[in-house]
């Protein structure tokens, strides 16, 4: 592969190389292309996806290529040994979702993270081999490509192989991230080998080569699913598990299957909301909150007004209380999807809303309904043929367990923390869970990932989603409301400051400038007493989004981070295969 850096820099306006302030007085402009658009956290991955579109691939081909590229170029969340969700809209109107969430190993037990006294053992569900769920990303991406793609495995995986084998020049974003994590990588020889130069820090501009990861990708390219879940890669994964008393076996790997699921659907003021079903909590909570808000004119209240913010906080408070009680893997637990997403339930749930006073979280329990889950990354893709993909993938926390499986180049996830280790005990994100999300063998852990497509008159107009653990759902909702209620451009909708509330803890987190002094005082007068500003350089979400605009398909990488939106036919090819990497 020949890396034409000058082409990349010109195309992406140095987006990947400079620090971008968290909040802009004037939002950066969105990219525009009539032929298709990719927005992701990695400039390299977005470029790979755009080139797939240029070569005649559809949005599904591009999304799969982006997924494999992110495993190389954005290792804190992009992955092969993690999992994710994909919401797909086809140009014939078909809507479907692919669930490739990780699963609990067959030997997992309900109390595996508790000590003899029944208390949660700190760090066991996040920093150990026991924390690793059975990976789903490879099976999911390949199943999506096989069913709805137009290209073969070699075409979509080769760019990632080339990037891993020949290396990328490290930008400030990656070099500084590696430096911050050295203490976490230090206990693991294979992790040190990947993220340092014989113990020395990588610097900006260094070429970062991942030979083991390239070989793992080659085995997937050549062997498909069996190139990961069987053979040498599977042997290396199981050996790593055994070295640290992990639970994943060859049988766990062979048994893993992604699930095709019906999307969560809702409506909001003439727009159709299409999102992810359980084991994601995102789609249900998103639709539920929008249902609670639909009878109010947020646009008339004004963006950033205390009236609108108070209303949204109270909807969030009730929805997250329901999450704790009712949400889990629907293959193991009867999730009342129809009831939770109905407008009648939302009206009943919001009946005690007081426009002048905050509710007390301790007085808000889950609603009573009859019965019939901080590091992730999101990519949005739309092609010129009317196909759209919203794709969110994760290792859970940043760099997962921080453990690289020896010989594979792959970081291992710590998704087992997304289960409820103990009823009413908060996980890393402070989220409360109960029986619906308890640990069971083969069960998928609850997630907050919310890949979403918004349609108008049957056509996709907005593709969005975000990382951020429990804040994913509220970030996604705010981008949607910014577009629909506040009539913002995509640039403003993504760039505008955000806030978050999740029932417990009772605080309301917010970005700088999200609340004006007057708004802050007004919220406090209503009883919102825990308004917690984020520390400098911290932000809520990374909502890389794509929208159909008047002049074409617009793409916006969230300016909070060093991502990029790249349109088809906007740039010259970046990735060229070489025989040496085949």
- Tokens read off for 390: 């919203």
Length of the chain: 582
| Residue 267 a catalytic site member | no
- Tokens read off for 546: 């794509």
Write down the residue that tokens 């591009």 correspond to.
62
Residue 514 near residue 304, CB atoms below 8 Å: yes
H-only helix segments in 55-171? 59-73, 137-148, 153-166
* Backbone angles phi and psi of 171, in degrees to 5: -90, 180
Residue 313 near residue 133, CB atoms below 8 Å: no
Q: Report the interhelical angle of 282-293 vs 306-326 (nearest 10°).
A: 140
Lay out the sheet containing 531-533: strands in order across.
499-500, 508-510, 531-533
Query: Which is the catalytic residue, given 73, 97, 216, 376?
Result: 376
Q: Which residues, other chains included, contact 14 with Cβ-Cβ below 8 Å and sequence gap of 6+?
A: none
Count how many Cα atoms sit within 13 Å of the Cα of residue 35 in the half-sphere of its side chain: 16
Report the alpha-carbon distance of residue 6 to residue 8 in Å, rounded.
5
Closest CA to 571 of 27, 55, 42, 20: 55
Residue 446 near residue 470, CB atoms below 8 Å: no
H-only helix segments in 114-200? 137-148, 153-166, 172-180, 182-185, 189-195
Residue 355 near residue 311, CB atoms below 8 Å: yes
Identify the bridge partners of residue 304 per DSSP, sorted by sequence position.
none
Give me the active site residues, please.
376
């Amino acid at each position: 592969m020949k890396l034409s850096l000058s082409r990349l820099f010109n195309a992406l306006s140095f987006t990947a190389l400079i620090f971008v302030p968290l909040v802009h007085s004037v939002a950066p402009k969105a990219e525009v292309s009539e032929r298709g658009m990719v927005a992701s956290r990695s400039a390299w991955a977005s470029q790979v996806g755009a080139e797939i579109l240029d070569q005649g691939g559809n949005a599904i081909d591009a999304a799969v290529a982006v997924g494999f590229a992110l495993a190389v170029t954005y290792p804190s969340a992009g992955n092969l040994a993690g999992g994710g969700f994909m919401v797909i809209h086809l140009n014939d109107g078909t809507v479907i979702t692919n669930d490739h969430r990780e699963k609990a190993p067959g030997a997992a037990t309900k109390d595996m993270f508790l000590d003899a006294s029944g208390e949660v053992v700190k760090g066991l569900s996040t920093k150990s081999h026991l924390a690793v769920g059975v990976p789903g990303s490879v099976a999911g991406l390949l199943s999506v490509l096989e069913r709805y793609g137009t290209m073969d495995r070699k075409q979509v995986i080769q760019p990632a192989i080339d990037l891993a084998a020949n290396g990328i020049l490290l930008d400030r974003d990656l070099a500084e991230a590696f430096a911050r994590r050295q203490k976490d990588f230090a206990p693991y020889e294979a992790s040190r080998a990947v993220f340092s130069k014989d113990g020395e820090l990588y610097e900006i501009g260094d070429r970062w080569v991942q030979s083991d990861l390239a070989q793992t990708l080659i085995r997937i390219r050549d062997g498909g699913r069996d190139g990961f879940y069987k053979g040498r890669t599977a042997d290396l994964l199981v050996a790593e598990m055994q070295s640290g008393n992990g639970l994943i076996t060859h049988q766990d790997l062979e048994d893993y299957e992604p699930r095709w699921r019906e999307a969560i659907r809702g409506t909001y003021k003439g727009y159709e909301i299409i999102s992810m079903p359980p084991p994601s909590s995102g789609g249900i909570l998103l639709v539920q909150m929008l249902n609670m808000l639909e009878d109010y004119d947020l646009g008339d209240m004004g963006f950033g007004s205390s009236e609108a913010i108070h209303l949204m906080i109270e909807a969030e408070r009730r929805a997250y209380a329901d999450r704790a009680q009712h949400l889990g893997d629907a293959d193991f637990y009867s999730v009342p999807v129809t009831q939770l997403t109905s407008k009648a339930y939302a009206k009943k749930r919001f009946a005690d809303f007081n426009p002048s006073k905050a509710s007390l979280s301790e007085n808000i329990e889950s609603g009573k309904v009859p019965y019939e889950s901080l590091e992730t990354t999101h990519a949005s893709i739309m092609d010129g043929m009317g196909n759209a993909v919203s794709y969110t993938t994760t290792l859970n926390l940043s760099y997962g367990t921080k453990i690289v499986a020896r010989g594979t180049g792959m970081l291992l996830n710590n998704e087992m923390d997304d289960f409820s280790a103990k009823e009413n005990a908060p996980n890393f994100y402070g989220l409360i869970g109960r029986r619906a999300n308890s640990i069971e063998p083969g069960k998928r852990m609850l997630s907050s990932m919310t890949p979403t497509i918004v349609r108008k008159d049957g056509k996709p107009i907005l593709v969005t989603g975000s990382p951020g653990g429990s804040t994913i759902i509220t970030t996604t909702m705010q981008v949607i409301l910014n577009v629909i209620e506040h009539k913002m451009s995509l640039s403003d909708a993504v760039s505008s400051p955000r806030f978050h509330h999740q029932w417990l803890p009772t605080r309301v987190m917010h970005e700088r400038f999200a609340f004006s002094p007057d708004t802050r005082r007004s919220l406090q007068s209503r009883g919102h007493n825990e308004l917690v500003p984020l520390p400098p350089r911290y932000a809520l979400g990374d909502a890389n989004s794509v929208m159909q605009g008047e002049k074409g398909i617009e793409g916006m990488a969230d300016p909070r981070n060093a991502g990029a939106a790249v349109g088809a036919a906007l740039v010259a090819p970046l990735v060229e295969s070489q025989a040496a990497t085949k």
